[in-house]
Amino acid sequence: MGTDGWAIKLYGAADEVVWVIKLNALWALCTLLGGVAFGIGPATLAAYSLARRRSLGESFHALPAFRAAVRREFRRGTLVVLPLAVIAVVLAGNYLYFAALGAALPRLASLGALVVLGLIAGYAFPMAVHYDLGVRALLPKASLVALARPASSLVLLFVALSIAYASVKFPVLGIVLAGGAWIQLDTWLCLRFFAENEARLHPSGN
């Protein structure tokens, strides 16, 4: 590969890093401005909406696009994301409580439930911005996909654990990059999983 080829690849990688930092900042700022409880839902679906557009190759200005997505997704984002976030906090609290007590089985059960919840959310949020699904249909659909595609679920779990490990090893990078990196990678992967699933269910020519 020539020098120009390497320069193009380096520029593309740097552009992705800058984008992830920007997406992370928009998501975190909106979450905080909403007092976390009323900010995390709209901020999360807005960030996934932008990540989807980025994955599909669209060109847009991040800040106005994010503001518009927050307004559009305020109600649905709150209804979809906030309950999952509350359940995740409860499960994490249970895990820490049982770990302090030295109760192995309840601790592992809490951890397993947290992993399952994370996988369902990992499908549900990209699905929410990619398909025209109502709030009630979203979580059952995401759960079905998670169960029907174990290999894809393992990929998502590996990516999530890798980001979590990197965040623990390099806390500053975790603060600056982790949320945006997960949202963008989760969206990019899920769009491909969805396309593969649709191709399998509706093969061309049938």
In tens, the pLDDT along 135-157 reads: 889 999 999 999 888 999 999 99
- Of 192, 187, 108, 106, nearest to 149 by C-alpha is 192
H and E: helices and strands count for the chain: 7, 0
CA atoms within 13 A on the CB side of 120: 20
pLDDT at 206 over 60: no
* 47 located within any domain: yes
Average pLDDT (119-128) is 96
Instruction: Tally the domains of the chain.
Output: 1
Q: Is residue 68 part of a domain?
A: yes
Is residue 161 assigned to a domain? yes
Which domain range does residue 159 map to? Answer: 3-201
* Global pTM value: 0.92
Q: Tell me the two tokens of residue 182.
A: 């997960």
- Residue in the block written with tokens 């079905």: 144
* Count of CA atoms in the C-beta half-sphere (13 A) of 88: 13
Decide if 124 is inside a domain. Answer: yes
- The answer as to whether 206 is a domain residue is no
Q: Which helix (H) or strand (E) holds 124?
A: helix 104-130
